Structure 1
Amino acid sequence: MAGNYTKDEKRFLKRLGLAIKDRRVEQGLSQEKLAELTGLHRTYVGSVERGERNISALNIKSLADALECQASNFFRATE
């Protein structure tokens, strides 16, 4: 993971990524299909789901829109 993140920050990113992945799997979408729907690269989506990226707010919104949910749903899973 790039950057000097604290243990808590790393845990947060991993939980956020897992929440996105869980929603994607519930929707029956592949990473490739989600990437296509959002305009993001497939490898980027994968790295987000693994908690390796400090994803931007606009990319979170794009993922939430594609997954037909509110972006806040992802954050509830991090608490």
Structure 2
Amino acid sequence: MNYDGVEQGEDGMWHAGEADEDLMVMCSWCHERVHQLMDRDRGWAGLSRRDATLAIIRTIQRRVLVEAVRLTTEVTE
């Protein structure tokens, strides 16, 4: 991942120069999973930061959906 332009201000807050349309709201759990998957699999390095992040988010969404279906099936059996 490229963190050029990301700086921590005197207030302790992190600031970056991403365009608003490149930002996405996500919970801290999903945000951490994005970093874990990206750090664990260097294959993502072949994509732009934005494309890799979007692909990883789709992967997380699929995993969450599969788990939700599994849990629903267990409850209804």
Q: TM bucket by the smaller chain?
A: 0.3 to 0.5
The TM-score with structure 2 as length reference comes to 0.33
Q: Between Structure 1 and Structure 2, which shows a larger proportion of strand residues?
A: 2
The TM-score with structure 1 as length reference comes to 0.33
Higher Cα radius of gyration: 2
